[in-house]
């Protein structure tokens, strides 16, 4: 269900993100309220994301600069230009990469995503440090009412997604809005995550269910 009022927590998160399309409908969108996705501020933000994705997905170095250091550095620069937060220059996303807005995506240090990651970030998506994502993963905050009338009017809503530190998201996983995946989790390939997964768990299936716990580790020392 859509939220009845704005979320101070999500508004506080947004205040720390770059490139945010501030407007009334944006605040409703990230708060989980019903909102109009076709207002100019949101439409322009999505168009800007598509331009940035085209640049990211099609850039490749000249022969003289064909090395992993150059590729990593330049791709990180492009990602920082349109995502909400990037933890460090070690971020590595294999193209193609697709995102709905960009400013609502925050990733931590040493983030890696394999080919074909799709993030529908109508609400804020927060990903922790040292997270690995397999190929063909979809992270979708966006949803609609089942009543048809609001869909005819382009009204929708979204719920945030949080993925903790040291998680491994297997290939083909779908993570739906409103889900929090705790630290140290593994999500098995092909799973659909519809509910929270507690820290230090392995979850598999459709819908994903916890099948085992793993040893909890202390704070990572850089």
In angstroms, the CA 173 to CA 188 distance is 7
Q: Which SS3 state, helix, strand or coil, does residue 126 take?
A: strand
Active-site residues, by number, are 144
Tell me the Ramachandran region of residue 101: left when phi exceeds 0, alpha when psi lies from -120 to 50, beta otherwise.
Answer: alpha
**In the structure encoding, which two tokens stand for residue 32, read together?**
């989980």
Q: List b or e across 74-113, with b for residues whose CB sees 16 or more CB atoms inside 10 angstroms.
A: ebbebbeebbbbbbeeebbbeeebbbbbbbbbbbbbbbbb
In angstroms, the CA 159 to CA 121 distance is 9
Query: DSSP class of residue 213?
Result: E
In angstroms, the CA 18 to CA 106 distance is 10
Helices (H) then strands (E): counts for the chain? 5, 20
Tell me which residue of 11, 13, 16, 12 sits closest to 26, measured CA to CA: 11
Tell me phi and psi for residue 113, to 5 degrees.
-135, 135
């Amino acid at each position: 269900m859509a939220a009845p009022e704005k979320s101070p927590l999500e508004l506080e998160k947004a205040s720390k993100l770059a490139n945010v399309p501030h407007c009334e409908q944006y605040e409703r969108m990230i708060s989980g309220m019903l909102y109009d996705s076709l207002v100019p501020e949101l439409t322009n933000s999505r168009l800007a994301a598509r331009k940035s994705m085209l640049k990211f997905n099609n850039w490749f170095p000249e022969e003289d600069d064909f090395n992993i250091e150059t590729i990593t550095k330049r791709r990180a620069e492009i990602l920082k230009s349109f995502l909400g937060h990037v933890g460090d220059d070690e971020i590595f996303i294999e193209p193609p990469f697709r995102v709905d807005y960009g400013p609502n995506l925050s990733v931590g240090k040493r983030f890696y995503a394999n080919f074909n990651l799709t993030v529908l970030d109508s609400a804020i998506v927060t990903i922790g440090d040292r997270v690995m994502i397999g190929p063909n993963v979809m992270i979708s905050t966006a949803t609609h009412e089942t009543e048809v009338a609001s869909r005819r009017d382009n009204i929708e809503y979204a719920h945030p997604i949080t993925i903790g530190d040291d998680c491994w998201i297997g290939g083909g996983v779908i993570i739906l809005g409103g889900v929090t995946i705790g630290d140290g989790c593994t999500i098995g390939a092909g799973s659909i995550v519809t509910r929270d997964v507690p820290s230090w768990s392995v979850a598999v299936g459709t819908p994903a269910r916890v099948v085992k716990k793993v040893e909890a580790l202390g704070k990572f020392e850089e």
